[in-house]
Amino acid sequence: MITPASPGGSTDVMARLVSEGLSRHFGVPFPVDTRPGAEGSIAAQAFVQAPPGTALFFTNAGTITTTPVLIPRLPYDTRADLVTIAPVATDFLAYAVRPDFPAATLSEVFERIRARPGDISWCSAPGGTNLLTNAYLRSHGLDAVFVNYRTTGPAALDTAAGRVDLTVQPLVTLAPLVQEGRLRLLAVTTSIRSPAWPDVPTVKEAGAPELEVEGIPGLFGWKGMPEDLRTRLTAAVQDVVRAPETIERMRSLGLVPRITTAQELERDLREMGGRLAEVAQKYGVRSE
């Protein structure tokens, strides 16, 4: 099971849960091969080049929806070569600052960026949050310095240490630092509040609905995968997600189980990808 997830992140945790569940279900190992970087395209290319039937692909929505926008000339066809099998969760992402940052809310952060152009820095997880934050800053005439990171962990740690002012990352990545008092959450990017952090508003509630996006980690197969195998894998993933131990693990990470079909996952990703493509075209956003 090839994945672009960085070790310890929510997508990596979900990949390993699914890997373990499928191993039990089918009685064969599904080892996880982690290949982060380049907006997920390194892992996706490795999967597409693998002989059919030898690998599966586990990734978050960004590899499907955002990477083709940020990197137009990919060495594979995202829609044709990556066949949806099943989602596993709704992954919450959030904006956060260090505790002593002089802004109590997300809107106050943007007000500070306006007052001090070029002085405030930010970083993000790859994918939709990066694109939407960049577009939001441009559309509102805000000048902030983007700091690029290959993986989410160092970005969150540097924000906690004060080397970066604002970050938007998966809650799984931020949670330990928030619990230790080293980061302060400002808003989640989803349409609903996180059950794990019910006091943290959504970006819409924080006055920035343009920043709304959700993470959807899921499993994908290869081009030409037999439909009966795809159906079996979808059912197997759904059984893994329904398992009490999986639900408990997800809740401990602040994730919400997501049990839908391969076709529904394809529809959700197509809609999200269309919206992100429009944003990128309007503001000329490209990969940093």
pLDDT, tens digit, 9 for 90 and up, residues 154-169: 899 999 999 999 999 9
User: Residues near 282 by Cβ (< 8 Å), separated by ≥ 6?
Assistant: 135
Residues 50 and 10 in one domain: yes
DSSP state of 182: S
Is-contact 173 10, C-beta < 8 A? yes
Residues 179 and 108 in one domain: yes
Classify each residue of 152-168 as buried b or exposed e, where b means 16 or more C-beta atoms within 10 Å of its C-beta: bbebbbbbbeeebbbbb
Average pLDDT, the chain: 91
Residues 177 and 72 in one domain: no
pLDDT, tens digit, 9 for 90 and up, residues 259-274: 999 999 999 999 999 9
pLDDT, tens digit, 9 for 90 and up, residues 70-87: 887 899 999 899 999 999
Q: Is residue 39 part of a domain?
A: yes
**Amino acid in the structure at residue 40:** G
Q: Is residue 153 part of a domain?
A: yes
Is-contact 138 282, C-beta < 8 A? no
Query: If DSSP codes are grouped into helix, strand and coil, which group holds residue 151?
Result: coil
Question: What does each C-alpha distance from 201 to 64, 97, 187, 270 come to in angstroms?
Answer: 27, 15, 5, 27
Number of domains in the chain: 2
Residues 200 and 97 in one domain: yes
The rounded distance, in Å, linking the Cα atoms of 262 and 268 is 10
pTM above the 0.75 mark?
yes
Using the 3D structure, point to which of 211, 237, 269 is the last residue of a domain: 211
Residues 153 and 262 in one domain: no
The rounded distance, in Å, linking the Cα atoms of 119 and 276 is 27
Percent of all residues in the chain with a pLDDT value above 70, rounded to a whole number: 99
> What phi and psi, each to the nearest 5 degrees, are found at residue 286?
-135, 170
Q: Is residue 199 part of a domain?
A: yes
Residues 222 and 236 in one domain: yes
Residues 9 and 107 in one domain: no
Which CATH number does the domain housing residue 207 bear? 3.40.190.10
Place of tokens 């395209």: 41
* 287 pLDDT higher than 70: no
Written as six digits, the tokens of 116 are 């001090």
Residues 80 and 222 in one domain: yes
Q: Is residue 288 part of a domain?
A: no
Residues 72 and 207 in one domain: no
Q: Is residue 239 part of a domain?
A: yes
Residues 78 and 157 in one domain: no
Backbone angle region of 39, left / alpha / beta, with phi > 0 → left and psi within -120 to 50 → alpha: left
Strands (E), 145-194: 145-146, 166-170, 184-188
Using the 3D structure, point to which of 211, 241, 268 is the last residue of a domain: 211
Q: Is residue 41 part of a domain?
A: yes
Residues 81 and 220 in one domain: yes
Residues 154 and 110 in one domain: yes
Written as six digits, the tokens of 151 are 């993986």
Q: Is residue 161 part of a domain?
A: yes
Which CATH number does the domain housing residue 65 bear? 3.40.190.150
Residue 181: domain span? 93-211
